[in-house]
Structure 1
Amino acid sequence: MITGGRIHTAEGVIAGDFLDVLPLPDGTTVLLQGDVAGHGTDAGLLAVQIKSAVVAVLRLDPDPRAAAAAAWAVVAPEDERFTTLVIAVLDPRGRRLAWLNAGHEIVLLRRADGTVDELGTTGPVVGPFITDPDGMWDVHDCSLAPGDLVVLATDGLTDARDRTGVMLGRDAVITTVAGAGADPRAVVGALYRAIEDHGADWDRDDVSILAATVKQDDSRATAPRSRPAS
């Protein structure tokens, strides 16, 4: 597994976005990303709490639904904040990708031939308006072949606006992913350059991007080899 990831903070040193790459003992690798509403210190502190809860649960049980329920438990009922969340489980040996998408903006699967599939939502954003998390989110799955690339990004990417207020948009993101090749680090770099070329205001919102690809030898691996993205 090869991964690449980056977070740009809109305010200060702490972001309301969070991401992680979690290799598990069964040989699967979990990609995790979320976006707490707003940015700055308050959103950043809640993001840290949610990420910690989700990672702790995934280490015990790789069921994305249990992890989403843990995220929900962190959100205070009286708080108006919510978070989007995506949990993608890559199984190179079984050649499957399973994902839970709780209202997350960009969840893409770039096939080795350059075509790009959008992996849609499987439930609502995680927030205090949910009274019972049981059965709230589904987990979908699809095939995963060597050379396929998973790309996750928060809405700070698609909503990046130039000086006239025009957003970068989903189509530009998908086109960039399709043309950037299969190297996760190159794809992350290309998407950040797309924001720069668009003339966006970097202080408007946090932007986080995470990408991972399955190598040919990953399907024969007996232990995960990936490391958390920086």
Structure 2
Amino acid sequence: MAKDFNSQYVVDGYDEHIRKLIPGYDVVHQQIKALLQTYADEYAHVLIVGCGTGYELGYLLRSFPDWTFTATELSETMLDKAKHHIHSLNASHRVEFVLGDVDQLKPGQIYDAALSILVTHFVDYSNKPKFFKAIYSRLKPQGLFITFDLTKIKSDQELEVLKHVCEANGLTPSQSAAMIERLDDDFYPLSESETFEQLKLSGFDSVERFTQILSYQGYLAIKA
């Protein structure tokens, strides 16, 4: 059964659960911060596609006090949680929240960078080209796109390794079994080669993988 991200129960437990579910969750955010420090402008405006509960957004707001952000989210429950979190940081004036996808952004608004962290693997295969092209169209020249997602699992052994790591991080055996069942319901993962191909076809000039933790991979793409 697919997870309901409009459920208040699911949303309230998300930040704790995601650290058990995603190997190296905090390390990945440290890497993303380092990439932004290296590639983005001093006063960047960053688009976060699928901001979830706002953890990632809050982390970046604290890290880059001169930056502004636009954050999209399809789940109103998630977006409300993110708004509350950012309000608690006294940073609401630096964020524009949008309930919807990239198509709902203001016409003509472009960004120095865009992030899609643990979001793209939820986008249906048929919609991924449109998804990538929409993000590409919203970036300034030399703008960067950072994505980190589950990629295609190639064997039963690879799946078993992921299960063991998640249980070591705190998932119960029943929760890890539910995670495996959800892979077919919720996820539309690309392989490494398919990711490169789709990003290149979307217009990105430079694409490279910046990290891999088991079946999760992160990519940095630069707009020509």
TM-score clears 0.5: no
Tell me the TM-score normalised to structure 1 length.
0.29
Q: Relative contact order (alpha carbons < 8 A, sep ≥ 6): 1 or 2 greater?
A: 1
